[in-house]
């Protein structure tokens, strides 16, 4: 099979005594191999199969098998043409001797679907990825100090991916009240993350503190963002962590909120209750979906924000009736009355309400 270019193999239902995995893989040895996917193979069998010409590599194995971090890094160093790397499994040991950073000059995508603990991040600390554009990592449950240390280990990867893919949309999604998914992408649509962007999945235990840490790490990169989305926030609390995120995204033009995430803005679009102090100074579009308006003061506070905004513009420039017109898009809103929508319009907002289009008042 000297011309084999793509290989995908999985060992299933076989005891180690029944098969020699290394001998099995040797039958597929090919200098032309470019894409390799191996699942459930021990490291001793995998290592000889790794060739310097590989461009795409997927490895998944028993997470309880111990592998020396130095061995993994040495293997990666021998594959300078790698463009995509997905690796799950193997319990990595701590580094016991000096290790030089490994540069993967062509790596564009680095992903893992396994919940990573501190030990799993060891090798990532020593990997340099100058052209990285796609990063997908999931974290195991860590306490506050561990989460801070874990995120610090991948800070260089976050910065590299952000610099190369130039994301313009940030999305924070609370899933099943157990995990917080953070996605940065350059696709303004809501399609799933594909070959570019950053996706970090965090357990909720220290997720909000992680928001603060990430905000500090990537503050400069956030300046290129135009849109912010917060989804399914039933258990999100208005806290200092969220305020730090808002500060980093104060320049955005589009804000999308779903469900009870409106409680993240207790004073409408202002950061203070009694004075005009907009959270998002350049906001053009406010999109609200699946919001239950009847049990909150959000509409009242939004009206107060728009009124203060209008008065501030008149004070600063008496000839100017208002600044940039705010577009409010309401989809599947609950307990919303036509008079509430009209009040927003009277204050200068352009409101699109799907129920109104259907003739509901």
Q: What is the pLDDT of residues 147-168, one digit of tens each?
A: 888 888 899 999 999 999 888 9
Contacts of 340 (CB under 8 A, 6+ apart): 293, 299
Q: How far apart are CA 288 and CA 66, in angstroms?
A: 48
Please write the tens of the pLDDT for every residue from 258-317.
Answer: 888 888 888 888 887 677 788 898 999 999 998 888 877 889 889 988 888 888 776 654
In angstroms, rounded to a whole number, what is the distance separating the alpha carbons of residues 83 and 89? 20
Q: Tell me what percent of the residues of the chain surpass a pLDDT of 70.
A: 83
pLDDT, residue 48, reads: 92
- 44-53, 189-198, 243-252, 324-333, range with the lowest pLDDT: 189-198
Closest residue by Cα to residue 171 from 233, 243, 244 = 233
* The two structure tokens encoding residue 174: 């609370």
Question: How many CA within 13 A on the CB side of residue 306?
Answer: 23
The residues, any chain, with a CB within 8 Å of residue 13's CB and separated by 6 or more, are none
| Cβ-based neighbours of 76, under 8 Å, separated by 6 or more | 82, 85, 102, 104, 123, 127
- pLDDT for the residue numbered 360: 47
Mean local confidence (pLDDT), 337-347: 91
Beta-carbon contacts of 218 under 8 Å, excluding residues fewer than 6 positions away, are 158, 159, 162, 248
Q: Name residue 287's beta-bridge partners.
A: 256, 329
Rounded to 5 degrees, φ, ψ at 117 are -100, 180
pTM of the model: 0.86
Q: What is the pLDDT of residue 353?
A: 92
Higher pLDDT, 345 or 204: 345
State yes or no: pLDDT of 106 exceeds 60. yes
> What's the pLDDT band for 321 if we cut at 50, 70, 90?
very low
Other C-beta atoms within 10 Å of 50: how many? 17
Nearest-CA neighbor of 39 among 1, 79, 89, 83?
89
How many other β-carbons are positioned within 10 Å of the β-carbon of residue 76? 21
């Amino acid at each position: 099979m000297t011309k084999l270019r793509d290989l995908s193999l999985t060992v299933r239902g076989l005891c180690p005594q029944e098969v020699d995995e290394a001998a099995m893989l040797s039958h597929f040895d090919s200098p032309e191999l470019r894409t390799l996917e191996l699942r459930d193979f021990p490291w001793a069998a995998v290592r000889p199969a790794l060739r310097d010409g590989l461009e795409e590599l997927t490895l998944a194995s028993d997470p309880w098998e111990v592998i020396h971090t130095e061995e993994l890094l040495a293997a990666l160093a021998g594959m300078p043409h790698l463009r995509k790397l997905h690796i799950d499994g193997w319990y990595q040991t701590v580094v016991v001797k000096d290790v030089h950073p490994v540069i993967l000059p062509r790596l564009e995508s680095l992903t893992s679907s396994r919940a990573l603990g501190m030990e799993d991040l060891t090798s990532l600390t020593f990997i340099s990825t100058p052209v990285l554009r796609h990063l997908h990592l999931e974290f195991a449950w860590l306490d506050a100090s561990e989460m801070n240390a874990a995120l610090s280990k991948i800070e260089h990867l976050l910065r590299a991916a952000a610099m190369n893919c130039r994301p313009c949309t940030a999305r924070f999604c609370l899933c099943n009240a157990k995990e917080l998914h953070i996605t940065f992408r350059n696709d303004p649509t809501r399609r799933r993350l594909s070959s570019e962007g950053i996706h970090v999945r965090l357990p909720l235990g220290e997720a909000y503190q992680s928001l603060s840490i990430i905000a500090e790490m990537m503050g400069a990169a956030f300046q290129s963002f135009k849109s912010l989305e917060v989804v399914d926030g039933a258990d999100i609390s208005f806290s200092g962590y969220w305020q730090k995120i808002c500060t980093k995204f104060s320049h955005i033009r589009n804000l999308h909120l779903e469900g009870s995430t409106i409680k993240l803005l207790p004073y409408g679009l202002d950061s203070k209750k009694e004075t005009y102090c907009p959270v998002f100074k350049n906001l053009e579009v406010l999109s609200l979906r699946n919001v239950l308006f009847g049990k909150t003061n959000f509409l009242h506070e939004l009206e107060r924000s728009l009124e203060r905004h209008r008065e501030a513009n008149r004070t600063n420039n008496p000839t100017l009736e208002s600044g940039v017109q705010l577009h409010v898009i309401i989809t599947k809103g609950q307990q919303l009355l036509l008079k509430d929508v009209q009040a927003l319009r009277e204050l200068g907002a352009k409101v699109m309400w799907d129920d109104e289009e259907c003739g509901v008042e």
